[in-house]
Chains A and B, each alone.
Chain A
Amino acid sequence: MSRKTAGTRVRNRENDPRRAALARRAVERGARAEYLAFRMAEEIYAVPIAYVKEILKLPPLTEVPRAPADVMGVISVRGRIVTVRDLRRRMRLPESAPTRRSRILLAELAPELGGTGERVGLFVDEVLHVYRFTDAELESAANVLGSELAEYVAGIGRQAGEMIILIDLRSILGGQKAPPAPARTALAGGRA
């Protein structure tokens, strides 16, 4: 498990020659989407990397009284105030205290994709690495998981014996509750 991505910005991806090469390879192998995998409560989750703008080490958090339960607090990212949400609380996963591997993913989902357009911080226990899946490699979440979690899950990917749960960002970054997810089409999003 490499943690090379941690602490570095994932911006200007278009200009990165390595990325361009990867994108070419992706075209050769058929359409693949890239997912950034992270660990929460001993499970591996992933979100389409296209919506992750930045990965931050944990800055001091300021708690917000009277805020919804899954709001951990606010941080300042280069002058902008960003709300940090705790996916574990949202998905009712066990919580453990932040460690030095804890990270914040800055994610943003445009309104036309069902988000609010707001840049939100998502707290994760540890950032792993990037996985690539074609649509065909993904399983529907409903087959595997209970209904409670299914609301947040776009699908399941398997690679090298690991099961990766793909999170439907609309359910987290959307204005209201996401409608029941119909299989794994645009939800997985983010082609490389």
Chain B
Amino acid sequence: MVDQRDEFISEAQEIIEGLARDLLALDASLKRQQGADHELVNDAFRAVHTLKGLSSLFGVARMSTLSHHLEDLLDDLRLGRVELTARVLDVLFRAVDVYGQILAALRAGDPEPASVVDALLSELGQAISRPTGGASNPLAEYDLDPGLLAVLTEYEEHRLKTNLQQGVSLFVIRVRFDLATIDGALDNLKSRAKPHGEILTYLPSGEGGDSDSIDLDVLLASRQSLDVLRTELGGPTVSIEPVARRARAPHELPPSEPPPTQFLGSAAPRITTPPAAPEGVFTPRGGSVAQAPPSPFAGTSPRVVIQPPPEGDPIASLEVPRAGLSIRGVAQTVRVDIRKLDHLMNIVAELAIVRSALSRITDRVRGLPELRELGIELHRLHRGLDRHLGDLQSGILEVRMVPLGQVFDKLARVVRQISREHDKDINLVITGAETEVDKLIVEELSDPLMHMIRNAIDHGIERRRVREERGKPEAGTIALNAYQKGNHVVIEVQDDGAGIDEERVLEKAIQRGLVAEGEAGALLQRDILAFIFVPGFTTKEGASQLSGRGVGMDVVKTNIGKLGGVIDVHSELGIGTKVTVTLPITLAIISALVVVIAGRRYALPLASVLEALVFDPWSVRTIEGREVMTLRGSTLALCRLDALFGLPPLPDSPPPPRRFVVVVGVGNQRLGCVVDQLIGQQDIVIKPLGKSLEGVRGFAGATELGDQHVGLVIDAPAIVEDVLAASDATRLLGARKGSEV
């Protein structure tokens, strides 16, 4: 039961994300004044329709009600009964948020949030404004068969009229399809026709065809010339003719307002009985044709009554390939619980242990002359195992990777919402949405990034008037860039706003006693900007509605830190601010430097290792009881890890002939860790320590280093923080470092 609910949530989530993307694209096309892309409206409509079905299946009543109303709205949009405006889009975006809230409540096992849904429902009613005035009916000018017009769905008719109003020409393509392959062939035709125009509808022609094939008349609206279409779409079984304009008396026109029907899932086509008695009857499917009329589009035919076959109707049966498309699309992806992947990763780790045992046996066997042949064979097998195991490991890692676009879509929604609330015009420019990161990281990223974006809009981008005065374009730009850099992914949030006023930050820092007034002069820009990460720090008088609501940059920093990431700020007054987040690509496997401290092996994540050098005891000086050395002209605080960890030397190990300093860097702080030996670089899987060791600081987890031996993974940021705790000595060092650089 629980699993089913999870399944529902993740499926709904996926659909909602798709819906949000469609809405963003619609918003973009609306901004460019291109008008609403009808395909996007259709996609959104389908998404909501699916959500409606899903939610009522799982008894999520409010979600189902909401979807029902949204579906009505989107249907109206599709049919042109409601105009797509920014206001309508607002409501739709709100709906995406409300969907998210419902899912969050479900996930937490709470009841659906009633009030937000109700509020949105009432808003839905208000947002809709019907277009005024009935446009002239463009259909009158075309030589179209009334029988055809009678079977058009309301949507198809709407699209037909829209196209004609825009002066697009109509063509009839008659194609013969083999019944056995019609699905594929029709899809093929549709995709080839798509660049040239819009397929409005298709119907059996009633002519030609036999038991194995059928002729379809496809009504295409296109701006291309007939010749182009003939070369692009033509073929031995294809003929293309334009539909002529005509000037006939209006009374011959079909009823201009056929009764509305549902587009999807309509059971029976509408049948309009023409005034005169039927002269010819045909059943669609190309089966028994009593008196074959020419194309229903031709308009020259005698009046035709289209009579549905006893079961199913031509529209419904031809609708199948469309629906089939989307089903196929979904069936190729599988949703997997990330815990299952973790489990697989553990199995791989165990296999790696088996592999190293096998390697030892192989070496032993190869050492025995009488088993030489066996040894060679074993060696070959071992190499094969090694390779495949490596492939398996990287395969599983790859499955965990998802594009950052997942978060960026969410952020684009936030930007749109906030900029409208704040009445600031903002262009969001996204690059590198395809950059891939571990799923777990992506999940944890959205909150910190959202906060950074809020900051950029609220504190960064100036009001329109101010921007004008400063000679900046009226619309602010926020760039969201992502790219891979070695084993890391870099995400930048950059705005062209006011920048951070260092003077004010410093002023506030002095006010809050973060720095003594006398020492403030020695601080570098970096040190000053670092104050914005202090809990509760804000330069804004009176928290705004957007940011400054308790969650500050300190939370952002903590969250990024938890992911093993580092955050950096660059800012220029009046030009803009850039916040850079550097993250490991995956949490599952990291590169680490294995070191020996007092005879024990430890792993130091390479992400925080800057360099390693031989330790020269003569270069050590002591400043205020703290050991430091000079590295390329600047002072480096030292930390003897054996002493920090309280490790006595093992009884049987002699003191090392020479030691090493591993320089670790976290943000802009550096610390030299003194270790006994460097063993080398190794890819490790970090495993959490059990609950009983939760309170132990300094270790990020443990990992298997081979031979059943567990090594602890040093939590470099925690060590750096502990050692360089905000003491007077640190500030002294910081200031001195500054003056030396």
Residues of chain A touching chain B, judged by Cβ–Cβ distance below 8 Å, are 59-60, 62-68, 71, 74-76, 78-83, 85, 116-120
Contacts and interface: CB of A to CB of B under 8 A. Distances in A.
A75 B688 CA distance: 12
Given A65-B698, A66-B697, A71-B693, A60 B709 contact: yes
Interface stretch (B260-268, B505-513, B700-708): B700-708
B614 to A, nearest CB: 25
Contacts of B516: none
A79 B347 CA distance: 7
Contact of A80 (B346, B647, B709, B711): B346
Given A60-B707, A78-B346, 11 more contacts: A62-B712, A65-B646, A67-B693, A74-B689, A75-B710, A76-B708, A76-B710, A79-B687, A85-B692, A118-B691, A118-B692
A79 B353 CA distance: 9
A42 to B, nearest CB: 27
Nearest to A117: B691
A62 B502 CA distance: 48
A119 B691 CA distance: 9
A59 B708 CA distance: 7
Contacts of A83: 689-690, 692-693
Nearest to A61: B710
Nearest to B707: A60
A67 B647 CA distance: 12
Contact of B690 (A59, A62, A120): A120
A116 B707 CA distance: 30
17 contacts: A59-B708, A62-B600, A62-B709, A63-B600, A64-B712, A66-B645, A66-B698, A74-B689, A74-B693, A76-B704, A76-B708, A79-B347, A80-B346, A81-B689, A83-B690, A118-B692, A119-B690
B696 interface: yes
Interface centre among A66, A78, A119 (most CB of B within 10 A): A66
Given A60-B709, A62-B702, A62-B711, A80 B687 contact: yes
Interface string B667-693: 000000000000000000001111111
B531 interface: no
Nearest to B686: A81
Nearest to A121: B690
A3 to B, nearest CB: 22
A75 B353 CA distance: 14
B350 interface: yes
B346 A81 contact: no
B486 to A, nearest CB: 28
B315 to A, nearest CB: 57
B155 interface: no
Nearest to A63: B600
B647 A116 contact: no
B701 A79 contact: no
Contacts of B347: 79
Contact of A78 (B350, B689, B712): B350
A51 to B, nearest CB: 16
Interface centre among A63, A79, A117 (most CB of B within 10 A): A79
Interface centre among B646, B697, B709 (most CB of A within 10 A): B709
A159 B710 CA distance: 40
Contacts of B711: 62
A61 to B, nearest CB: 8
The 10 A-B residue pairs whose C-beta atoms are closest, nearest first, are A65-B645, A79-B346, A62-B710, A83-B690, A118-B691, A81-B702, A81-B687, A83-B692, A79-B349, A76-B710
Interface in B638-685: 645-647
A80 B710 CA distance: 10
B699 interface: yes
Contacts of B350: 78-79
A160 to B, nearest CB: 35
Nearest to B687: A81
Contacts of A120: 690, 692
B692 A81 contact: no
A64 B692 CA distance: 12
A87 to B, nearest CB: 14
A60 B708 contact: yes
A117 B346 CA distance: 20
Interface string B702-725: 101001111110000000000000
A81 B647 contact: no
A66 B693 CA distance: 9
Nearest to A70: B692
A34 B646 CA distance: 42
Contacts of B692: 68, 71, 83, 85, 116, 118, 120
A59 B704 CA distance: 13
Contacts of A64: 689, 693, 696, 699, 712
Contacts of A62: 600, 702, 709-712
Contacts of B693: 64, 67, 71, 74, 83
Contact of B647 (A59, A65, A118): A65
A163 to B, nearest CB: 30
Contacts of B701: 81
